[in-house]
Amino acid sequence: KPCPLCDEAKEVLEPYKKRFILQEVDITLPENSAWYDKYKYDIPVFHLNGKFLMKHQVDIQKFEDQLMKLELQND
């Protein structure tokens, strides 16, 4: 379904798209009911490398810090 908050978040993350893989999850699909139960009032939600990072909107400083830490660990 249309999600203006998700669209806004994707715009903010656009400059970083070469540094990570964005995987979108539609929590309204039956197979994602666990995510729906957990996050139905908190979209969008962001996980980085399988760990919860933030919700509602992109905290760009937090995102940059965590992405850089992850990149340094993988070098």
Superfamily of domain 4-73: Glutaredoxin (3.40.30.10)
> Higher pLDDT residue, 2 or 26?
26
pLDDT digits (tens, 9 = 90+) for 16-69: 999 999 999 999 999 999 999 999 999 999 999 999 999 999 999 999 999 999
> What pLDDT does 74 receive?
87
Distance CA 72, CA 67 (A): 9
Residue ranges covered by each domain of the chain: 4-73
Query: pLDDT grade, residue 12 (50/70/90)?
Result: very high
Chain-centre distance of CA 68, in angstroms? 16
- Is the separation of the CB atoms in 27 and 43 below 8 Å? yes
